[in-house]
């Protein structure tokens, strides 16, 4: 069993097999969205359990609390505890603590981001294989309303961490705000004077925001399975936007003079880093179009995206009038479409090779 010291007297984090637990010798006041004993409660124990490979998704969904209770017995069993569940490896947890004068915060996060989503979008799934679970330990005495406010602050920090990584929704390709099964626990030791404010600009909120943002980002980055490196390839980042190599190859091959499969396209993109910077910039501009954020003074988006594509190549596409109708048939976001078509036609005709050396 591995042990880690947390803020507060006699509060520690322990890890044993598939169970990650906060144990306190003194009772903690808790507000949480945990599936087992969630809501407002008092306890000495908070548990985050990882679903084992042999347990199965169906059994878990039939009775998740049974799995949590059975898993807790690996630490000796408890009469009363707050419990969460995840498919993410609890061994890949991240722990971040920070102290400001007489106030201290520890945040523990596990992050499985394979089912990331953007709240408010249409979601259809029968699988639940990724979860971000966060435990916030406050060595202080926030009021009940303040403790509720810390849940909001921690959630904002979680989303900020995902945006730091440009993590995308599995379902739409939009910027992710979380996963479909996230849980959050905020616990206080009750030490000291009452704290009224827990928003992002408050003393407590700044501690929680910093620790949560870093803990979630570290957990999502370092996860051995399903981790998201900040420096992951352009191929992966485009795929996360629902712009897979297969889709890009099929659509651009509708243009006369372009014939390429997804493996050839992937190899080509990897060999042309200057071009891929334009392609990533184009994808980001397409994000703004999707959100309705393009300034109206930019005028016609199709014309603008075509002009934008000319920036990375000194020459124009020859016989452009002959492929206008073909361009309209390519079902890709406009900036990505024009940049990719221009690049592939220029590459095929061996024009402006100096631009890509």
The domain segmentation of the chain, as residue ranges, is 2-222, 234-356
Q: Is 357 helix (H, G, I), strand (E, B) or coil?
A: coil
- Say which range, 70-79, 252-261, 316-325, 335-344, has the weakest mean pLDDT: 316-325
For residues 224-232, give the mean pLDDT. Answer: 83
pLDDT for residue 21 is more than 90: yes
Quick check: 68 and 116 in contact, CB under 8 A?
A: no
Cα separation, 81 vs 32, in Å, equals 12
Question: Would you place residue 78 in the very low, low, confident or very high pLDDT band (cuts 50, 70, 90)?
Answer: confident
Pairwise CA distance, residues 202 & 150, whole Å: 10
Would you say residue 61 has pLDDT above 70?
no
Query: What's the CA gap between 44 and 351, in Å, rounded?
Result: 69
The rounded mean pLDDT for the chain is: 89
Pairwise CA distance, residues 36 & 320, whole Å: 63
What is the percentage of the chain residues whose pLDDT exceeds 90?
A: 67
What per-residue confidence (pLDDT) applies to 357?
Answer: 42
Phi, psi of 93 (to 5 degrees): -65, 160
Look up the pTM and report it.
0.90
Flag whether pLDDT at 351 surpasses 70: no
Region of poorest pLDDT, from 28-37, 112-121, 302-311, 344-353 = 344-353
Task: State pLDDT tens for residues 236-251.
Answer: 999 999 999 999 999 9
In the DSSP assignment, the letter for residue 287 is H
> Computed from CA positions of residues 51, 16, 228, 136, in that sequence, does the dihedral angle turn out positive or negative?
positive
Class of 2-222 per CATH?
A: alpha beta
Residue 95 dihedral angles phi and psi, to the nearest 5°: -125, 125
- Greatest Cα pair distance, the chain, in angstroms, is 77
Looking at per-residue pLDDT, the higher value among 37 and 54 belongs to 37
Q: Per the structure block, which two tokens stand in for 13? A: 């984090």
Per-residue pLDDT, averaged over 325-344, amounts to 91
pLDDT above 70: residue 127: no
Contact criterion met (CB below 8 Å) for 266 and 273 = no
pLDDT band of 321, cuts 50, 70, 90: low
| pLDDT surpasses 50 at 161 | yes
- Average pLDDT for 184-190: 98
Backbone phi and psi for residue 92, each to the nearest 5 degrees, phi listed first: -95, 25
């Amino acid at each position: 069993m591995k042990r880690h010291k947390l803020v507060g007297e006699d509060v520690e984090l322990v890890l044993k097999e598939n169970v990650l637990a906060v144990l306190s010798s003194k009772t903690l006041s808790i507000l949480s969205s945990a599936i087992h004993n969630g809501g407002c409660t008092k306890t000495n124990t908070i548990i985050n359990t990882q679903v084992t490979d042999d347990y199965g998704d169906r059994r878990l969904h039939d009775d998740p609390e049974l799995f949590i209770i059975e898993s807790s017995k690996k630490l000796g069993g408890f009469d009363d505890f707050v419990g969460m569940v995840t498919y993410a490896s609890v061994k890949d947890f991240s722990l971040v603590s920070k102290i400001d004068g007489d106030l201290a915060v520890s945040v523990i996060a596990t992050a499985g981001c394979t089912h990331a989503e953007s709240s408010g979008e249409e979601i259809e799934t029968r699988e639940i294989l990724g979860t971000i679970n966060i435990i916030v330990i406050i060595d202080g005495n926030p009021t009940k309303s303040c403790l509720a406010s810390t849940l909001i602050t921690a959630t904002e920090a979680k989303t900020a961490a995902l945006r730091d990584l440009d993590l995308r929704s599995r379902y739409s390709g939009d910027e992710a705000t979380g996963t479909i099964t996230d849980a959050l626990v905020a616990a206080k030791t009750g030490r000291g004077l009452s704290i009224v404010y827990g928003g992002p600009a408050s003393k407590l909120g700044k501690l929680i925001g910093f620790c949560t943002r870093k803990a979630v980002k570290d957990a999502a980055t370092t996860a051995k399975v399903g981790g998201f490196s900040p420096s992951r390839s352009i191929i992966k980042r485009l795929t996360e936007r629902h712009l897979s190599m297969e889709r890009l190859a099929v659509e651009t091959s509708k243009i006369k003079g372009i014939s390429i499969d997804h493996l050839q396209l992937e190899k080509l993109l990897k060999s042309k880093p200057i071009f891929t910077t334009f392609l990533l910039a184009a994808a980001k501009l397409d994000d703004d179009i999707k959100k309705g954020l393009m300034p109206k003074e930019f005028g016609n988006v199709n014309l603008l995206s075509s002009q934008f594509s000319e920036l990375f190549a000194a020459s124009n596409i020859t016989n452009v009038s002959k492929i206008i109708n073909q361009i309209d048939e390519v079902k890709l976001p406009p900036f990505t479409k024009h940049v990719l078509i221009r690049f592939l036609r220029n590459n095929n005709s061996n024009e402006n090779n100096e631009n890509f050396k």
